[in-house]
Amino acid sequence: MPPLSPFAFVSNWMRSWGCIMRILHVEDNEDTRTLVAFVLEAEGWQTVSVDNPTAALSHATSGGFDLYLIDNWMEGDSGKTLCAALRSIDQDTPILFYSGAVLDVEMLRASGAQGYLEKPCSPQALVSEISKLTRR
């Protein structure tokens, strides 16, 4: 295994002390993915953005995320199905649905999600909801 780059070393060290929040963002719309990543990274949060549930599960199995931010309507699968799959491998990490579709919040909570935010919303509302769910 090659040695870590200085950036990776510092990033891993800061994460081990809880200094950097890591978010897995699942969104099939490229423009939304890019915009949300910009907002989250402006907060100093590390963002892994993927465009489908299969990629999300692959990343989630490696662990180390502080929050899952997922869209509900994605090509090939729903966010609710992804939420249930995430809960089967990780019962503790908060899940926030961020979707343009009006959803039944109680149904989302039953599937394992802790929150729902309707898009579009302001960057401040997104950051506030994430901070509330992660208590940072």
User: CA torsion, points 1, 5, 47, 26, in degrees to nearest 10?
Assistant: -30
Q: Write the pLDDT tens digit of every residue in 77-116.
A: 677 888 888 989 888 999 999 887 766 777 777 777 888 8
Check: CB of residue 73 under 8 Å from CB of residue 80.
Answer: no
Q: Is 52 helix (H, G, I), strand (E, B) or coil?
A: coil
* Domain ranges for the chain: 6-134
Place of tokens 């890591």: 22
Entry pTM: 0.81
pLDDT tens digits for range 17-31: 556 899 999 998 999
CATH code: domain 6-134 is 3.40.50.2300
